[in-house]
Amino acid sequence: MINFNIPPFVGKELNYIREAVENKKICGDGKFTKLCSSFMEDKFNCKKILLTTSCTHALEMAAILADIKEGDEVIMPSFTFVSTADAFVMRGAKIVFVDIRPDTMNIDENKIEDAITSRTRAIVPVHYAGVACEMDKIMDIAKRHNLLVIEDAAQGVMSKYKGKALGTIGDFGCFSFHETKNYSMGEGGAILINDLKYIDRAEIIREKGTNRSKFFKGQVDKYTWVEYGSSYLPSDINAAYLYAQLEVVDEINNSRLNAWQMYYDGLKELEIDKILELPTIPDGCEHNAHMFYIKCKDMNTRDELIDYLKENQILSVFHYIPLHNSPAGKKFGKFFGKDFYTTKESERLLRLPMYYGIEGNTIQYIIKNIRDFLGSK
Ligand SMILES: *Cc1c(COP(=O)(O)O)cnc(C)c1O
């Protein structure tokens, strides 16, 4: 069977995990946690990056830092993972879903402004497949309406928008290091804090509501409970796994980009013949090959293709069922305006196997099977 995903593993992970264990420092904020955050702060030119237990938790921290309260409205696409919405719903917010653009599957920046009301507090762009949303326009809208921007950059580690790393453009950015993402620590994530004024409070929220990180820095002589918070810091064992991959982050990125390009080149002819559609990378966006997806003519064709590929030992998967159609989405959110693309495009989308180390002949075999099936239809 050709797997859909294989978690990244570069070799040094086990040495670093061993070192963390031998350091007798396996809780949070040990050596490897610090190495990971300072490496990323430099690489992505970010003021502060705090490693978290997941991207879901990074989003929860952002919602707390943004002071989201009962009755506030938060704008986001419906074509996203549940956590994008959940983090804000847990603070009592109502989710206002805005339609996506069919070319990138990202929130349609031209439909955001009409969805803003006096209750709107934040916009949450999701960089689907590691391809940036139209951030200039989104930041301009946010500025004019005094809204916060929280980037769900779970899939966008190493991607850029007009030269800036994703996650560093809004007020907060959230990364995921889940095993299905480009760089992994099993379960984990990070919050990127782009405005210095939030750093102290972020450290407190992440450390159970205590000023423990100030204490460790020698800024206070005892630590105490100062705010509400939770435990959002990951074990140094997980950070050790991640650090091995960060050391070779460019190599992993290039290897994924090559795999992506091979799919693209091999399937381009089918797009010219209007048999399927390929992803679009708008000008100014540097993506990270998080995903390779195709869009079939309709849902039926897509589902038949999934079955055909499976018969040929290839695991391909569809993606999000739009949140506004789900039971919780109906309860906690509403779709603003008409759903032109969210449902229709999500039903046609199919994700192909993509992971670090996928071999060229595996990709060629997958391309051949797609051609055989769709070409004969
Ligand atoms: C993976 C993902 C998340 C959740 O990440 P976790 O680290 O598993 O919590 C959130 N948003 C998007 C868009 C994702 O792809």
How far apart CA 129 and CA 293 sit, in angstroms, is: 9
Residue closest via CA to ligand 1's atom 2 equals 154
Q: Is the CB of 184 under 6 A from ligand 1?
A: no
How far apart CA 77 and CA 95 sit, in angstroms, is: 9
Residues 306 and 261 in one domain: yes
pLDDT at position 376, please?
79
Q: Are 223 and 229 in contact (CB under 8 A)?
A: no
Residue closest via CA to ligand 1's atom 5 equals 55
Residues 218 and 268 in one domain: no
Indicate the SS3 state at residue 313. coil
Closest CA to 149 of 177, 116, 182: 116
Distance 176 CA to ligand 1 centre (A): 6
- Domain span holding position 301: 249-375
pLDDT at position 39, please?
98
Average pLDDT across each block of 10 residues of the chain; the chain has 377 residues. List them in order: 96 97 94 98 98 98 98 98 98 98 98 98 98 98 98 98 98 98 98 97 96 90 93 98 98 98 98 97 98 98 98 96 97 98 98 98 98 89
Q: Which of 246, 265, 291 is the endpoint of a domain?
A: 246
Residues 240 and 257 in one domain: no
Tokens at 225, concatenated:
């409970």
Confirm whether 2 is domain-assigned: no
Residues 76 and 165 in one domain: yes
Mutating to test ligand 1, I would choose from 150, 175, 176, 349 the residue with most ligand atoms within 8 A of its C-beta, which is 176
pLDDT at position 375, please?
85
What are the b/e assignments for 58-83, b being 16+ CB within 10 Å?
A: bbbbbbbbbebeeebbbbbbbbbbeb
Distance 144 CA to ligand 1 centre (A): 29
Angle at 139 between CA 72 and CA 45, to 5 degrees: 110
Q: Is the CB of 56 under 6 A from ligand 1?
A: yes
pLDDT at position 173, please?
98
pLDDT at position 133, please?
98
254 to 45, 228, 289, 290: CA distances (angstroms): 20, 42, 9, 11
Residues 33 and 181 in one domain: yes
Closest CA to 133 of 88, 98, 100: 100
Mutating to test ligand 1, I would choose from 52, 56, 78, 179 the residue with most ligand atoms within 8 A of its C-beta, which is 56
Ligand 1 atom closest to residue 181's alpha carbon, by position in its atom list: 1
Helix (H), strand (E), coil (C) string for 297-312? CCHHHHHHHHHHHHHC
How far apart CA 261 and CA 252 sit, in angstroms, is: 14
Give the CATH number of the domain where residue 256 resides. 3.90.1150.10
Give the CATH number of the domain where residue 127 resides. 3.40.640.10
Residues 55 and 164 in one domain: yes
Residues 197 and 65 in one domain: yes
Ligand 1 atom closest to residue 59's alpha carbon, by position in its atom list: 10
Q: How far is C-alpha 161 from the chain's CA centre?
A: 15
Q: How far is C-alpha 105 from the chain's CA centre?
A: 13
Number of structural domains (the chain) is: 2
Q: Which of 224, 246, 268 is the endpoint of a domain?
A: 246
Give strand ranges (E) for the chain: 48-52, 73-77, 94-98, 120-123, 148-152, 160-161, 164-165, 172-176, 189-193, 285-286, 292-295, 333-335, 349-352
